[in-house]
Structure 1
Amino acid sequence: MSESYAGKINRKLLKKRRIINAAAGREPADLVLKNATYVNVFSNELCHADIAVAEGLIVGMGSYSGMREVDMSGKIVLPGFLDAHIHLESALVSPREFVKAVLPHGTTTVVTDPHEIANVMGTDGIEYMLQATEGLPVDVQFMLPSCVPATPLDESGAVLDYRAIDSFYDHPRVLGLAEMMNFVGIIAGDDQPVEKIVAAQAHHKKIDGHAPDLVGNDLNAYVAAGVYSDHECHDLADAIAKLERGQFIMIRDGTAARNLEALVPLLCAKYADRCMFCTDDKHPSDLLEKGHIDYIIKKAIALGADPIVAVKVACHNAARYFLLNNRGAIAPGYLADFVVIDNFQDFTIEQVYKRGDLLVDHGVVRDFPAPEVEPYLAERARNTFHVETLTAEHFSEHRPRGIIGMVNGEITTVDAGYSDRIDVEYDVLKIAVVERHKNTRHIGIGFLQGYGLKSGAVATSVSHDSHNIIVVGTNEADMAAAANRVVELGGGIVVWDGGAPKAEVPLSIAGIMSDEPLITVNEKLEAAKDAAYALGVNPGIDPFMTLSFMALPVIPTLRITTRGVFDVTQQTYV
């Protein structure tokens, strides 16, 4: 029998009285961090006091006694860190595994945009992620995908207009509309993207931006439409132009894009209050070897930022932007989310508390269960491939096709001319995108230069943003075999040569995430990279991450879609 309304009020009243009594010192607190030196994000200084916690909240700083007391002498206590924009799917593991990875690094809240899985499963993908993150010890907040598919050129698993996502705004963990990548449509006043902004504003929600290098009146139009932030600034001038027009700047430093060094001058008294940190995409090796938001803080301090400013940008500013008004600070009434470090120079995280519970102690994470996902969604996520068995003939196209020229260390490309054949000696390989959501039998074919493969083929179902199968090879038979193996795995990454897989990374959740532990996935991923490099892949690129972006037709110059090679600049197929 469900609790009555009166019962709920009475229970909350008792809890509130407990908080007040503990704050006033009339009752012992649940937890007291004694002799704490902590960052005060309001006065921008280090303060010294006991920090008292009751019912998961900070109830006061001063002199307190508690049922549990922990001496913090010689340590620094910080608010829990917040990632302002991330795609959880980029870690290639389940949300539970992601949380196990970032919690030891002091992250207690993330704001995710599930547009990767939404491009595969539509609204079922959003619901899957909401259920798979419910109750985790890192609070996972959501921004709803604004561009599914990313462009009308893509063939994704769904097309989501504003009506499709509208009901999700009522979910308590949905904060707004995620990165509006279609800035061209906004500036032009096109119906679909503008409708999504109007709907989000009708729900009084935030709207995040994605508009690299937008300037002048076009930028004015984009901001005037109601876009409040941007995480695509890669140079200082771009960031300041947006900040001067009222946008908040998410300083991004993740795996695919690292902008902190260019933007660290923003971490000053003049601009820092309009900034926050985000990672956007964070791959397994980076999470294991570098860390998460803590890595950005350490890097910012090393680049000359004031440690207190860096910490404030890592927690309080994002919480304030997203109206998460009870986190991001050490003050009465705020969540008792703490990160305990040794000092600002080494920045070694010793303990992490979530709502007053010690969840990480010197790198050891207290175990927690995986949230339950309803059987329909769990089964749906493991059945996302609808494509016939492929043969070499499916990739045998002899007409001249555009050559996508790769650039070392970048995801941008150049127009490298035309070819009508594979020429391994000149590093001209065949590339294709196979539609895998609805068995349309659409296969876009082109050529790729700069990848370096000398034998075999590489295929992956992580192919931004629609996540069709992208495959590159030295011959059509190996391309077909590698793509077929991806389907057999239910999704993943395959390096194929000599009639067999040389390495593979199964990604059975929607073809973009694994249900295995992060360490296992990372080991398989690194082994697959080694196998790809052994077959000649250019060491100046990531064999899979870089390949996955070759299918995203919003980045200049040439891309490959299910309909062929597309010139993003000219907006024409070549």
Structure 2
Amino acid sequence: MERMLTERILAASGAKKASLVLKHAKVVNVFTAELETGDIAIEGGYIVGIGDYEGQTEIELGGQIVCPGLIDGHIHLESSMVAPGEFEKAVVPHGTQAVITDPHEIANVAGTEGIRFMMERTKGLTLDVYFMLPSCVPATGLDESGAILNAEALAPLYEEERVLGLAELMNSYGTVRADGGILDKVEDARKKKMLIDGHAPGLFGRELNAYVAAGVQSDHECSDAEEAIEKIRRGQWVMIREGTAARNLEALLPLFKEPYYRRCMLVTDDKHPGDLTRLGHLDYIIRRAVSLGADPIHAVLMGSLHAAQYFGLSEVGAIAPGYKANLLVVSDLENFEVKQVYKNGKLVAENGVMKEEILAAEMRSVETPARVGDSFRLKEICPEDLRMEKKGDTIRVLCLTPGELTTTELLAPWTEQEGTAPGVNVEQDIVKMAVLERHHNTGHMGLGFLGGYGLKRGAVATSIAHDSHNLILAGTNDEDMALAGNTVRKNRGGLAIVADGKVLGELPLPIAGLMSEEPAWWVDEKLEELKAHARDLGIGESIDPFMTLAFASLPVIPKLRLNTYGLINVEEQRIEEVMINCTPKNTGNQ
């Protein structure tokens, strides 16, 4: 180490030629928010100087712009639907050099085994992957996941080098009411001087004060600038989210200005493979922000230095002596097209593709635990299992809200039509929905009705069902629903679309029922094929047929959800009857 430091000092002072010099660059200086012209001298993987330098190897940039490597401050890697190595191939060419992941999706399936699996699969990657420990497994007491992680289960994981703290504290209701189980987790993190991330949409006033007083230091759920500014005023960092499921960038554009941008960073939260391959990652957020009028240098700082500062990553996030040579060369700050990516002073990606020698060096085998690779404990589904006994003349329908994750309630008459399951009314856009427990073969199943989905015939099945990831079915008849569910079961997880007794398409996701080992482009291609089939069956362009279902069972977003326990009234956290005896007040198309 002493010899390496000596070499860096000598190269910085000009006493020796630096190993690598990027000549005639325009450097984004994140400390002064300006463009600085000069050479970038690199020695032993570190930046040693900005100015006039000679190198053993020199690369002429001709005035191209160089930015620090980008850092995503909050993402669930599982949402990419591909294994970590494939995720790396998708994001590194876009300039992302580090991510902070919350593995709560795989933890809900396989507990600490799932978390450790993700830790193993992310070792040795070019992409730096840090972890926040899942705080809500399961999300609430009215959910049924594959594992329950209390404070005692999480405690040993804090010893892992890449663990930075406690992930999004989704149960803000319990936190501000000093729930003992939550506070046990919070206290463990605080004792170890670890970060605590937040998840508290719509929290204001005294409840926000209580949430911050508990030690919660950030939030990624702000949907408007007013909410975000209040959280900044109370000392929180705000993560501006622009992902696949939730897109808050445009509403939060005022945060790119003084003084607010200094307490903000860019995150994606959930990002599907199609968005990664076609649009990009954090580079896409920067491009879009600039197109909406944001200061481009502010956007770069929010995508690099600020995440490094918040998470205590002292050697990354800037281009200055003593920082790691994690750099990206871009065309200009407006279009932000990433031309080259350097990691520790080595060129790892160019023109949108990772270097072959980098990929070859990182091939490694990690044993997959049974709870991860064979996570389906569910017997074969028969159409008779899905039958519903009539217990009232009126059904309570979980209705989707266009463009939102929230739902409403519709009361509709029980109907029986030829060719559909009893209760289904495709003219009123009401289909049947089922959620089957798949982790422990308990046989638990919730049956109900879904409105506003658009399906006119056939069935859709998915094992991506936030956050407990049980098996969700939606369809017009029991036979197609059973076939779709059994297709996913056979594949050890994934997606399927069925119509008229025939499987139209399927996407196996055998890693915990959430991810594939295939490349991102292949998964995206299969996903797009499935979406095309969904359109043919009546689901409109404005609805993502799988993401919509993925959130339909999550009992922390109002108003109604359906999970393995049945129909859930989220606001009152209780199970409701699906069928009742009353005169429907609103029987029209919602």
Query: Quick check: TM above 0.5?
Result: yes
Select the residue among 86, 90, 95 that pairs with 2:84.
95
Select the residue among 534, 537, 549 that pairs with 2:539.
537
8 Å CA contact 1:38–1:46 kept in 2: the answer is yes
Structure 1 equivalent of residue 240 of structure 2 = 251
Once the two structures are superposed, residues 384-413 of structure 1 have per-residue CA deviations (whole angstroms, 9 ceiling, x without a partner) of: 000111111211112355210112222211
Taking the aligned partners of 1:195 and 1:285, their CA distance within structure 2 comes to 39
Structure 2 equivalent of residue 411 of structure 1 = 405
Moved more, 56-65 or 235-244: 56-65
Structure 1 equivalent of residue 367 of structure 2 = 375
Taking the aligned partners of 1:439 and 1:555, their CA distance within structure 2 comes to 26
Structure 2 equivalent of residue 50 of structure 1 = 39
8 Å CA contact 1:34–1:71 kept in 2: the answer is yes
Letter of the structure 1 residue corresponding to residue 56 of structure 2: M
Once the two structures are superposed, residues 15-71 of structure 1 have per-residue CA deviations (whole angstroms, 9 ceiling, x without a partner) of: 222222222222221211111110111111111111111111111112222221111
Q: Does 1:17 align with 2:9?
A: no
Select the residue among 384, 388, 407 that pairs with 2:379.
388
Taking the aligned partners of 2:335 and 2:119, their CA distance within structure 1 comes to 36
CA positional deviation for 1:376: 5.0
CA positional deviation for 1:499: 1.6
Taking the aligned partners of 1:284 and 1:169, their CA distance within structure 2 comes to 30
Q: Pairwise mapping of residues 539-554 of structure 1 onto structure 2 (< 5 A)? A: 539-554=541-556
Taking the aligned partners of 1:373 and 1:468, their CA distance within structure 2 comes to 28
Q: Pairwise mapping of residues 32-431 of structure 1 onto structure 2 (< 5 A)? A: 32-367=21-356, 368-369=359-360, 372=364, 374-377=366-369, 379-398=370-389, 399-400=391-392, 401-417=395-411, 420=414, 421-431=423-433
* 2:262 partner SS: helix
Structure 1 equivalent of residue 524 of structure 2 = 522
Once the two structures are superposed, residues 434-460 of structure 1 have per-residue CA deviations (whole angstroms, 9 ceiling, x without a partner) of: 000000000001101111111111000
Letter of the structure 1 residue corresponding to residue 543 of structure 2: I
Letter of the structure 2 residue corresponding to residue 384 of structure 1: S
CA positional deviation for 1:346: 2.2
CA positional deviation for 1:234: 0.5
Once the two structures are superposed, residues 191-242 of structure 1 have per-residue CA deviations (whole angstroms, 9 ceiling, x without a partner) of: 1111111101111111000000001111110000000000000101110111
Structure 1 equivalent of residue 587 of structure 2 = none
8 Å CA contact 2:559–2:570 kept in 1: the answer is yes
8 Å CA contact 2:142–2:573 kept in 1: the answer is no
CA positional deviation for 1:155: 0.6
8 Å CA contact 2:494–2:507 kept in 1: the answer is yes
Instruction: From the superposition, tell whether residues 372 and 380 of structure 1 become closer, same or farther in structure 2 (CA, over 3 Å).
Output: farther
Letter of the structure 1 residue corresponding to residue 407 of structure 2: T
Letter of the structure 1 residue corresponding to residue 498 of structure 2: W
TM-score, structure 2 length as denominator? 0.93
Taking the aligned partners of 2:560 and 2:95, their CA distance within structure 1 comes to 40
8 Å CA contact 1:131–1:373 kept in 2: the answer is no
Taking the aligned partners of 1:382 and 1:84, their CA distance within structure 2 comes to 28
Taking the aligned partners of 2:507 and 2:124, their CA distance within structure 1 comes to 28
CA positional deviation for 1:418: 5.0
Once the two structures are superposed, residues 306-326 of structure 1 have per-residue CA deviations (whole angstroms, 9 ceiling, x without a partner) of: 111111111001100000011
CA positional deviation for 1:361: 1.5
Structure 2 equivalent of residue 9 of structure 1 = none
8 Å CA contact 1:450–1:538 kept in 2: the answer is no
Taking the aligned partners of 2:494 and 2:510, their CA distance within structure 1 comes to 7
8 Å CA contact 1:478–1:496 kept in 2: the answer is yes
8 Å CA contact 2:82–2:520 kept in 1: the answer is yes
Structure 2 equivalent of residue 4 of structure 1 = none
8 Å CA contact 2:479–2:501 kept in 1: the answer is no
Once the two structures are superposed, residues 494-518 of structure 1 have per-residue CA deviations (whole angstroms, 9 ceiling, x without a partner) of: 0011222101111011000011111
Taking the aligned partners of 2:69 and 2:509, their CA distance within structure 1 comes to 31
Taking the aligned partners of 1:245 and 1:327, their CA distance within structure 2 comes to 27
Q: Does 1:507 align with 2:509?
A: yes
* 1:556 partner SS: coil
8 Å CA contact 2:117–2:368 kept in 1: the answer is no
Instruction: From the superposition, tell whether residues 157 and 120 of structure 1 become closer, same or farther in structure 2 (CA, over 3 Å).
Output: same
8 Å CA contact 1:132–1:371 kept in 2: the answer is no
Taking the aligned partners of 1:373 and 1:483, their CA distance within structure 2 comes to 31
Moved more, 299-308 or 366-375: 366-375
CA positional deviation for 1:371: 5.6
Taking the aligned partners of 2:168 and 2:122, their CA distance within structure 1 comes to 20
8 Å CA contact 1:460–1:486 kept in 2: the answer is yes
Letter of the structure 1 residue corresponding to residue 386 of structure 2: F
TM-score, structure 1 length as denominator? 0.96
Taking the aligned partners of 1:364 and 1:256, their CA distance within structure 2 comes to 26
Structure 2 equivalent of residue 28 of structure 1 = 17
8 Å CA contact 2:487–2:506 kept in 1: the answer is no
CA positional deviation for 1:419: 5.3
Taking the aligned partners of 1:559 and 1:149, their CA distance within structure 2 comes to 15
CA RMSD of aligned residues (A): 1.2
Taking the aligned partners of 1:419 and 1:376, their CA distance within structure 2 comes to 48
Letter of the structure 1 residue corresponding to residue 544 of structure 2: D
Percent identity of equivalent pairs: 51
Structure 1 equivalent of residue 454 of structure 2 = 452
* 1:544 partner SS: helix
Structure 2 equivalent of residue 6 of structure 1 = none
Select the residue among 493, 496, 499 that pairs with 2:495.
493
Q: Which runs of 5+ in 2 are unaligned?
A: 415-422, 577-590
Aligned length: 562
Once the two structures are superposed, residues 282-313 of structure 1 have per-residue CA deviations (whole angstroms, 9 ceiling, x without a partner) of: 01111111111011111111111111111111
CA positional deviation for 1:424: 2.1
Moved more, 427-436 or 359-368: 359-368
Letter of the structure 2 residue corresponding to residue 94 of structure 1: A
Moved more, 107-116 or 340-349: 340-349
Taking the aligned partners of 2:52 and 2:158, their CA distance within structure 1 comes to 42
8 Å CA contact 1:89–1:117 kept in 2: the answer is yes
Letter of the structure 1 residue corresponding to residue 367 of structure 2: P
8 Å CA contact 1:74–1:342 kept in 2: the answer is no
CA positional deviation for 1:571: 2.2
Instruction: From the superposition, tell whether residues 498 and 290 of structure 1 become closer, same or farther in structure 2 (CA, over 3 Å).
Output: same
Moved more, 487-496 or 360-369: 360-369
Letter of the structure 1 residue corresponding to residue 528 of structure 2: E
* 1:381 partner SS: helix
CA positional deviation for 1:253: 0.5
